[in-house]
Structure 1
């Protein structure tokens, strides 16, 4: 029970406080179902939490969803690599929306794939530069980070936890935590999920 509670707390810490619609899925279960979603995802899609949990994220697809973009997401999942695409999705009431979808792996302390993070940003219709502007803003924000913080952010975007980042960069875990807190404050990232999204948007 304690382990389950700790796992739930960790999932909450990843996305619960994020203003960005986000989900966590479990790749160790058949079809990589969603196991946690935040309030922003419920608000964006119109689905209730009970309708979301247990389903694969492709339930947002519809008649005009681009299959080649769906395949790009699947490819990222297969490769355990972060991927960001703009794809046509559908809300519960059938309303189509252009969705900037990020899918990124999260590894456990042993370096094994544990979860996938999915986050969604609705793009304004008839505003093709919206995502380009987001990418530019992310790139500018990341460039303001000191080199070591950029290194830590790059490792975070690849799905590594503090312990693994410390090992990979030859730092103490406490130092990594310090850099992580500082870079998230500089980026205005409320959660790890938000920081990862900024990193991927910036091209890290």
Structure 2
């Protein structure tokens, strides 16, 4: 398998089966362009895949998008830390929508920044508690995990891979894989991206 094929396989595994609108961007390229998106992101935004790939995530911004929230995201990207904000974005047809946006770094096995994961949940109009309800549900789900599973999840949310998590927690990589599989099952997370979002929503 070529490096290109390997990376595509990794990206597909990260977001393709997620029911949450998700993208992956490449910070090693100029302007951190999107290099992968899933069907849920296409359905949410109304853009076709070829209109998404190669663009910075900021293309969803519009006239009433809050600049201070855009800056919050940009600042977290520069610091390589996960961030979750509610921001006003725009669909392809110009429809504005309130959006809970997560951006989280993903590091390679050498510990260097490799990708950014972005995921978006549309917040229902007139339901200001929808984000809070998601946070409460995430906290409850994370509390139901074992201590070690929470530790592994917290490391996942920081963008670390199994080998790095094993080193940081002082356990074997096989142990990390076991706990990772269990916590994803308990969280009902279809992908690592979904688990990372739950972790950030819960405040890990």
Specify the TM-score bucket, using the shorter chain as the normaliser.
over 0.9
Counterpart Cα distance in 2 of 1:16 and 1:176: 23
Partner of 1:145: 145
Matched positions, count: 204
Partner of 1:71: 71
1:45-64 equivalent positions in 2, closer than 5 A? 45-64=45-64
Residues 5-63 of structure 1, C-alpha deviation per residue, up to 9 Å, x if partnerless?
11100000000000000000000111000000000000000000000000000000000
Counterpart Cα distance in 1 of 2:27 and 2:3: 19
Q: Which runs of 4+ in 1 moved over 2 A?
A: none
Kindly report the root-mean-square deviation, in angstroms, between the aligned alpha carbons of the 2 structures. Answer: 0.5
Structure 1 position 2, deviation (Å): 1.4
1:54-203 equivalent positions in 2, closer than 5 A? 54-203=54-203
Counterpart Cα distance in 2 of 1:10 and 1:43: 22
Residues 80-125 of structure 1, C-alpha deviation per residue, up to 9 Å, x if partnerless?
0000000000000000000000000000000000000000000000
Structure 1 position 186, deviation (Å): 0.1
Q: Does 1:11 align with 2:11?
A: yes
Q: Could you say what secondary structure the match of 2:35 adopts?
A: strand
Partner of 2:44: 44
Counterpart Cα distance in 2 of 1:83 and 1:3: 29
Instruction: State TM-score, norm by structure 2.
Output: 0.99
Q: Structure 1: 5+ residue runs without aligned partners?
A: none
Partner of 1:30: 30
Instruction: State TM-score, norm by structure 1.
Output: 0.99
Counterpart Cα distance in 1 of 2:124 and 2:159: 29
